Amino acid sequence: MKVFISWSGEPSRSIASELHGWLRVVVQHVRPWMSDVEIESGTRWNDVIAANLESADFGLVCVTRSNQSAPWLMFESGALAKRLDVARLVPLCIDLEPAEVISPLQSFQSRKLDMDGMRRLIHELREMSDNPMPREPVDRLFEAMWPGLEEQVRLAATQHINAEGPRRSPDDMLAELVTRVRNLERDTETEKQSSGPSRRDLRMLDHAVMTLDDSVSRLSLLTNYIAEFAHSVNRLEQLRFSERELTTAQRVSVDRAETNQQREAEYEIGVGDLVSHPKFGKGEVIDIAGAGAGQRAQVNFESGQIMWLVLRHSRLAPLAPEIDLDSSDN
């Protein structure tokens, strides 16, 4: 059973790589696939990824707070979701709770990347085997292997935080700016009492304070615009994902209708028709029995054989009637 592991950015990539090797040991009937490990140098990576998405039986999406709206993660998740009649898709929550996953991934049952969540996931994979192992040996193997994976997940998350560095929120920056303005006013008042600054200095100070106040207002307004823009982008991604799903469903419906029409056309063979079979050669239909998918035809072949064939599986091809040229000349 092929398990496609989807990722985007760090620490999602590092954790997906650890899962790739760990799953091979704990659930031995699965074949994990991850692009960062499996794609060989010099190959067309997009063709390889598309082929493995098409053949996957199970999808794991390594989700973090920062990547759950990433376009590439959405593309791979959408491709896996199209195969839901034969495959399953599970968002694996790394640094967030399943309830915090946003659309469209929130439509699927998530699992937390902790001991309880991974134990449930392992047993779900075990039960999908044609010959599943007993629960107890799998539990013992899981408990022996889990501490190693837990430590690698912790290291990957820690390294990502250290490499990225702390991010300051707009509120923090606004608070610092206000503090600096107040300190500047306090220092000015102290200097005024001690040395008596000139009017020119006071005017310059007032202008600086007014400029800082205006900057604070503009930064606050810009923060609101950024939040609204991020919400709009997220909504647009959701609409695009829904549109792709609808288009795919319509295409599948049209393909099925065309296939049914072709099959119905293949069954339009009647008594007296000339037909050809790839093994038995040419012959004439002398009887028809049954209807629908079980409809049969009795054919008298030129070889002298008379056989009943099920039209759905027989590969009989109708032939055009032979024209008697002598009769037509007369």
Is 15 in contact with 5 (CB distance < 8 Å)?
no
Give the pLDDT confidence score for residue 165 in this predicted structure. Answer: 44
Model confidence at 144: pLDDT above 90: yes
* 262 in any annotated domain: no
- Give residue 319's domain range: 274-329
Which of 129, 164, 199 lies at the terminal end of a domain, its last residue? Answer: 164
Cβ atoms of residues 33 and 52 within 8 Å: yes
Assign 3-class secondary structure to the chain.
Answer: CEEEEECCCCCHHHHHHHHHHHHHHHCCCCEEECHHHHCCCCCCHHHHHHHHHHHCCEEEEEECCCCCCCHHHHHHHHHHHCCCCCCEEEEEECCCCHHHCCCCHHHCCCEECCHHHHHHHHHHHHHCCCCCCCHHHHHHHHHHHHHHHHHHHHHHHHHHHHHHCCCCCHHHHHHHHHHHHHHHHHHHHHHHHHCCCCHHHHHHHHHHHHHHHHHHHHHHHHHHHHHHHHHHHHHHHHHHHHHHHHHHHHHHHHHHHHHHHHHHHHCCCCCCCEEEECCCEEEEEEEEECCHHHCEEEEEECCCCEEEEEHHHHCCEECCCCCCHHHHHC
Structure confidence at residue 198 (pLDDT): 61
Higher-confidence residue: 229 or 34?
34
| Within-domain flag for 321 | yes
State the amino acid at position 130 in one-letter form: D
pLDDT over threshold 70, residue 250: yes
Q: What is the pLDDT of residues 171-219, one digit of tens each?
A: 666 666 667 767 776 766 665 555 555 666 667 767 777 777 777 778 7
List the strands of the sheet with 2-6, edge to edge. Answer: 31-33, 2-6, 58-63, 88-93, 111-112
Q: Read off the CATH number of the domain in which 36 is found.
A: 3.40.50.10140
Say if residue 137 is in the same domain as residue 154. Answer: yes
| In a shared domain, residues 7 and 90 | yes
Query: What pLDDT is recorded for position 200?
Result: 67
* 54-77 mean pLDDT: 86
- What is the rounded average pLDDT for all residues in the chain? 80
Position 239 in a domain: yes
Do 160 and 184 belong to one domain?
no
Does one domain contain both 139 and 38? Answer: yes
- Provide mean pLDDT across the span 283-302: 89
Same domain, 279 and 155: no
Q: Which of 201-210, 219-228, 253-262 has the lowest mean pLDDT?
A: 253-262
Among 52-61, 181-190, 248-257, 313-322, where is mean pLDDT lowest?
Answer: 181-190
Q: Which of the pair, 256 or 260, is modelled with greater confidence?
A: 256
Q: Which residue's structure tokens are 């303005």? A: 181
Report whether pLDDT(112) > 80. Answer: yes
**219 and 288 share a domain?**
no
Residues 26 and 119 grouped into a single domain: yes
Is residue 226 a part of any domain in this protein? yes
Rounded CA separation 293/290 (Å): 9
Domain assignment of residue 127, yes or no: yes
pLDDT tens-digit map of 21-47: 999 999 988 999 988 776 666 667 777
Are 205 and 184 contacting, i.e. CB atoms less than 8 angstroms apart?
yes
Q: Which of 123, 139, 164 is the last residue of a domain?
A: 164
* Alpha-carbon dihedral angle through residues 213, 215, 220, 226, given to the nearest 10 degrees: 180
**CA 190 to chain CA centroid, nearest Å:** 63
Percentage of the residues of the chain whose pLDDT score is greater than 90: 27
pLDDT bucket at 330, cuts 50 / 70 / 90 = very low
Q: How far is CA 99 from the centre of its chain?
A: 19
Q: Mark whether 78 and 208 lie in a shared domain.
A: no
Residue type, 43: T
d(CA 273, CA 263): 18
**Tens-digit pLDDT profile for residues 273-285:** 999 999 899 999 9
Given 141, 164, 187, which residue is the final one in a domain?
A: 164
Q: Report yes or no: 112 and 30 within 8 Å, Cβ to Cβ.
A: no
Query: Which of 146, 84, 154 has the alpha carbon at shortest distance from 121?
Result: 146
Q: Which two tokens stand for residue 199?
A: 């009017």
Mean pLDDT in residue range 222-251: 79
Our count of domains for the chain comes to: 3
Asked whether residue 269 is assigned to any structural domain, the reply reads no
Asked if 230 and 280 sit in the same domain, the reply is: no
Tens of pLDDT, residues 114-132:
999 999 999 999 998 888 8
Q: How many angstroms separate the most distant Cα atoms in the chain?
A: 133
pLDDT for 224 beyond 80: no
The answer, yes or no, to whether residue 315 has pLDDT greater than 70, is yes
299 within domain boundaries: yes
Instruction: Please give the distance of CA 181 from its chain centroid, rounded to a whole number.
Output: 49
pLDDT at 77 exceeding the cut of 50: yes
Instruction: Grade residue 153 by pLDDT with cuts at 50, 70 and 90.
Output: very high
Residue 71 has a pLDDT of 84
Structural domain contains residue 204: yes
Residue 267: pLDDT over 70: no
Closest to 238 in 3D by CA, of 40, 45, 103, 134? 103
Pairwise CA distance, residues 236 & 290, whole Å: 53
